[in-house]
Amino acid sequence: MIRRALQVGFSRGLLTRGLRTRSGGPFNDRDGKWAEFKKKLQVFWPGGSWEPFTDTSHLPPEHADVVIVGGGVIGWSVAYWLKRLEARKNALRVLVVEQDPTYSMASTGLSIGGIRQQFSLPQNIQLSLFSIEFLRNINEYLAVPDEPLLDIQFNPSGYLLLASEEKAAVMEHNVKIQRQEGAKVCLLSPKQLKDKFPWINTEGIALASYGLENEGWFDPWCLLQGLRRKALSMGVYHSHGKVVNLVSSVRSMMTSSGEQVDLKRIYEVHVKVDNSLECQPVECAIVINAAGAWSGEVAELAGIGIGSPGTLQGTRLPVEPRKRYVYVWHCPEGPGLEAPLLTDITGSYFRREGLGGYYLGGCSPMEEEEPDTKDLEVDHDFFQKKVWPYLAQRIPAFNSLKVRSAWAGFYDYNTFDQNGIVGPHPLVSNMYFATGFSGHGLQHAPGVGRAVAEVLLNGNFNTIDLNPFSFNRFYRGKKVLENNII
């Protein structure tokens, strides 16, 4: 009776569980914990399979200041310039994470390596001008002691862009801008074109612009390996793995109009190592998205674009992979050594490959006919139907040719305005973009690398102002269109 009275009287006090039971705090479930302890002891008792110090050299470091997602030419260029522009040696710990060390699907290795200054945006022209200066002096930038010098194999054959009657005014305007920026481009009338390049059929051409200097093509693999070698020698860490998660801390704030905005800060990158189930969390201060065709997926991991459309929160990164084909053919009667990289009014292009009468070329398909991007299989019919007829019409010598091989590669295609995205994201404050170049990423890589390093270290662009390429334009709807897309 007393116990019941006590229970009733002190029901919310000390005797809620009755007089005999008491919470032992951390000593609850003593028996279960002892069994667990014995199991743990058995594992590392001598004779067990547990090793105190396992080899973790294949894992990325547990902490990095800057994590660059993507080890293509843009990623390694950013890493190189970060190390080059940091104020003191070893100030920053940079980690480059690349999911495929064979670069089998990366855009860099599959690119045809062209570089031109014939763009319509001043920023693009400036980027190309800096890049060609970088490439011409590549050994001053990227030489490593006791290692062989780089041979970028630059063919300075120039680009020849052809324009029909409707596009002639735009081309003239573009050439004016290019000349203002310092590119050496000249305009050719159809007759001058015929005199210079007798193998062209000038029917339908109103104007042509020809790059006289600093244009041509080079070996993209050499640039990538050069940047990689130099960055590694300057102390950049690299890891072969896939970024599977970006953990961030969130701060919710209200705008003056009452809308809720989530400001995020990524503080951990989870890297899943190749061919293994191991996932290493890398604590980081800054993440750079240089993942090329897969940048959209990486951005989604950070929560970019997850929200109602029309808001800043819901604006996705509009970069997706687009497959482009390149065909190599042999034509002994072809244009020969003087052939520049010619872009026809129909969008098809070709260039000389090597010295044995081989040429390569392709065409950007129409929006409706985009091939699917699940693999890199080549569609040979595309050449027969969409590329060859136009090329053969423009260069009669190409009427008889033999296709030797073909490959396909991805463009990191910016579906909004086909120009790069450079700079920080407004909401995820420590993610910087360097992606979406839609086919001209390789030629802009040195310039973009330097720009991203500048904005990261100094807070603004010092040399080339890439503010028009910021992420904000997707929210504002301001397209930064490039007229000369190949």
Near other proteins by CB under 8 A: residue from 68, 79, 92, 206: 92
Instruction: Report if residue 455 touches other proteins, rule: CB under 8 A.
Output: yes
Given the complex with other proteins, which of 65 and 333 has the nearer CB atom? 65
Instruction: Report if residue 485 touches other proteins, rule: CB under 8 A.
Output: no
Given the complex with other proteins, which of 3 and 40 has the nearer CB atom? 40
11-40: contacts with other proteins (CB under 8 A): 25-26
Q: Identify the CA nearest to 466 among candidates 420, 429, 425, 430.
A: 420
Instruction: Report if residue 370 touches other proteins, rule: CB under 8 A.
Output: no
Residues whose CB falls within 8 Å of the CB of residue 461, separated by 6 or more in sequence, listed in order: 451, 454, 455, 467
Instruction: Report if residue 63 touches other proteins, rule: CB under 8 A.
Output: yes
Instruction: Report if residue 458 touches other proteins, rule: CB under 8 A.
Output: yes
Q: Please state the closest distance from residue 37 (CB atom) to other proteins, in A.
A: 13
Instruction: Report if residue 62 touches other proteins, rule: CB under 8 A.
Output: yes
Instruction: Report if residue 286 touches other proteins, rule: CB under 8 A.
Output: yes
Quote the tokens at residue 265: 């800060």
Q: Please state the closest distance from residue 52 (CB atom) to other proteins, in A.
A: 11
User: What are the C-alpha distances in Å from 456 to residues 90, 217, 239, 288, 389?
Assistant: 16, 30, 22, 10, 48
Near other proteins by CB under 8 A: residue from 285, 328, 378, 406: 285
Given the complex with other proteins, which of 258 and 459 has the nearer CB atom? 459
Quote the tokens at residue 318: 């509009």
Phi, psi of 181 (to 5 degrees): -80, -15
Given the complex with other proteins, which of 179 and 270 has the nearer CB atom? 270
Instruction: Report if residue 252 touches other proteins, rule: CB under 8 A.
Output: no
Residue span binding other proteins (CB under 8 A) among the ranges 160-168, 259-267, 313-321, 438-446: 259-267
Own/partner long-range contacts of 110-113 (Cβ < 8 Å, ≥24 apart):
110/326, 110/376, 110/407, 110/408, 110/409, 110/410, 111/220, 111/409, 111/442, 112/217, 112/326, 112/351, 112/360, 113/217, 113/218, 113/219, 113/220, 113/442
Q: Identify the CA nearest to 84 among candidates 463, 457, 464, 465.
A: 457
Binding residues for other proteins, rule CB under 8 A, total: 34
Integer Cα distance of 265 and 94 in angstroms = 18
Q: Please state the closest distance from residue 67 (CB atom) to other proteins, in A.
A: 11
User: What are the C-alpha distances in Å from 474 to residues 119, 127, 294, 417, 477?
Assistant: 21, 22, 18, 9, 5
Near other proteins by CB under 8 A: residue from 410, 411, 416, 432: 432
Site map for other proteins, 405-424, x if CB under 8 A? Answer: ------------------xx
Q: Please state the closest distance from residue 263 (CB atom) to other proteins, in A.
A: 4
Residues whose CB falls within 8 Å of the CB of residue 210, separated by 6 or more in sequence, listed in order: 158, 159, 160, 161, 185, 186, 187, 188, 196, 340
Q: Would you call 186 helix, strand, or coil by DSSP?
A: strand
Instruction: Report if residue 91 touches other proteins, rule: CB under 8 A.
Output: yes
Instruction: Report if residue 284 touches other proteins, rule: CB under 8 A.
Output: yes
Given the complex with other proteins, which of 24 and 356 has the nearer CB atom? 24
Instruction: Report if residue 265 touches other proteins, rule: CB under 8 A.
Output: yes
Near other proteins by CB under 8 A: residue from 219, 283, 333, 370: 283
Integer Cα distance of 468 and 422 in angstroms = 9
Instruction: Report if residue 459 touches other proteins, rule: CB under 8 A.
Output: yes
Quote the tokens at residue 19: 């007089």
Near other proteins by CB under 8 A: residue from 7, 15, 58, 61: 61
Integer Cα distance of 483 and 169 in angstroms = 12
Residue span binding other proteins (CB under 8 A) among the ranges 123-131, 151-159, 196-204, 454-462: 454-462
User: What are the C-alpha distances in Å from 444 to residues 119, 447, 448, 475?
Assistant: 12, 5, 6, 25
The residue type at 137: N
Q: Please state the closest distance from residue 232 (CB atom) to other proteins, in A.
A: 19
Binding-site ranges for other proteins (CB under 8 A): 25-26, 61-63, 65, 86-93, 251, 263, 265, 267-268, 283-286, 423-424, 429-430, 432, 455-460
